[in-house]
Chains A and B, each alone.
Chain A
Amino acid sequence: MNRKRIVLRINGRACEAEVDVRVNLADALRHVFGLTGTHVGCEHGACGACTVIVDGRPARSCLMLAVQAEGADIETIESLGEPDRLSPLQKAFQDKHALQCGFCTPGMLMTLEAFLRENSAPTREQVREVLSGNTCRCTGYQAIVDAAMQAAHARRSAT
């Protein structure tokens, strides 16, 4: 009962693995599926670095067991752009210098990606509130909010 086979979708691809039941989703993504873009900071739900999108909603992958993701649709930072083909959100982070060390960035991006899909015309205040669960030790957040506003604008113009 301590290992279990799971089948799930990660970034649109069907995936399957046998995992230790005590392994959280963040560690499974990194060590079992080799997707090391998802970062692990605090491991107790305080920092938001591990945020991924689970069935359309941003969630902390350190607070979910990998076995609980059975049948789920997971999106990680690897689903956004490529280094030479950034997604509009990633491009906005680059343009606005919204990262320094980059440790918090995958969590910031996945939180905003999920949020902007539902709200393409947020106020700065709403963006700040949505990012209240993501800690950044470098930037001071202003540039991150600027980037979110640029990305929201880009999303509106694209549709």
Chain B
Amino acid sequence: MKAAPFSYHAPQSVEDAVGLLSTLENARVLAGGQSLMPMMNLRLAAPDHLVDINRVPGLAGLRIGAGRIEIGAMTRQADLLASDDLAAAAPIFRAALKHVGHIQTRARGTIGGSCCHLDPAAELPALCALLDAQFEAFGPNGSRAVAARDWFRGYLESALAENEILCAIGFAPWPSGHGFGFHEVARRHGDFAVAGAAALLARDETGATKRAAVVVFGVEPAPVRLAAFERAIVGRTIDEAAIEAASEAARKLDAMGDAHVGADHRRRIGGVVVARALREAAGMNGGAK
């Protein structure tokens, strides 16, 4: 189908964008359009006003500093995938981005759009949860930073107010040489995952864990960190018993079920992808470092 009629606005600044969102009724922000446009074409969404932020300067781009990485909300997924600097500083991004949609959707799709739409199976919001990212929002009262733990409000729901826009996402990179693993199971490559997991691991010379982060996505309405496991593993090595403990935690999640994948199956796959991501992060079973 075709999108229902709407008025189109192309503001040239974040202030103008926020002004429009504050005054117009039933307005939606158009970023990369890879989720909103299908919803509009299917008439699942019928905004009266579309506020296209593609021409707002300053919203796209990567700033990689020593202790902080900042990604502009309008940075295209294809640009993130292509960035060697990002792959060096936070290699989990390249591992994950290969699973984000398809070549044609990555060309337009943005990290900010993905983090505002919040499909439960989306990879980039899961990475933001994994990295304890901060979301920089701009609204009528200026800027505010939202921590990842407060950003995810539930199914397709972020902490962004209706008259705010997301400008950037920032996080502190892990020490160089850290282990990372990313794994997801999807029915076809590029489809939304049944379940996925990502893991980061910093270890000392003896192989004991200094710090670990594990996130599971696609299972509950929002990405979930395995916080109890992350705490318990500090000071210990990742062995088969530890991996089983992490899998078990994933299998206890409150999984969603749908017409294609039942909740039990989704929980089971959650356990499998957590084990694979952790093995990869720990360099076990020939997994990438």
Contacts and interface: CB of A to CB of B under 8 A. Distances in A.
Interface residues of B, number: 32
A57 B38 contact: no
Given A24-B2, A45-B38, A63-B37, A4 B104 contact: no
B52 interface: yes
Contact of A133 (B5, B42, B78, B101): B101
Interface stretch (B6-14, B161-169, B206-214, B227-235): B6-14
B8 A59 contact: no
Label chain A's interface by main secondary structure: mixed
B105 A111 contact: no
A143 B167 CA distance: 44
Give the interface residue-count category, chain A.
20 to 34
Contacts of A43: 1-2, 41
B108 interface: yes
**Residue among A2, A48, A128, A133 with the highest chain B CB neighbour number at 10 A:** A133
Nearest to B107: A57
A60 B104 CA distance: 6
A59 to B, nearest CB: 5
A57 B3 CA distance: 24
Interface in A100-147: 111, 114-115, 128-130, 132-133
B103 A62 contact: no
B33 interface: yes
Contact of A64 (B50, B78, B108, B190): B108
Contact of A24 (B3, B10, B101): B3
Contacts of A63: 33-34, 37-38, 41, 105, 108
Contacts of B30: 65
A1 interface: yes
Contacts of A115: 103
B189 A57 contact: no
B4 interface: yes
Interface string A64-85: 1101100000000000000000
B41 A68 contact: no
A133 B103 contact: yes
Given A67-B8, A68-B33, A133-B101, 15 more contacts: A1-B9, A2-B5, A24-B41, A46-B38, A48-B104, A58-B103, A58-B104, A59-B104, A62-B41, A63-B33, A63-B38, A63-B41, A64-B37, A111-B103, A133-B105
19 contacts: A1-B9, A4-B8, A22-B6, A24-B37, A24-B41, A43-B2, A44-B38, A44-B41, A58-B107, A62-B37, A63-B38, A63-B105, A65-B33, A65-B52, A111-B104, A115-B103, A132-B102, A132-B190, A133-B101
Interface of B: 1-10, 30, 33-34, 37-38, 41-42, 50, 52, 54, 78, 98, 101-105, 107-108, 188-190
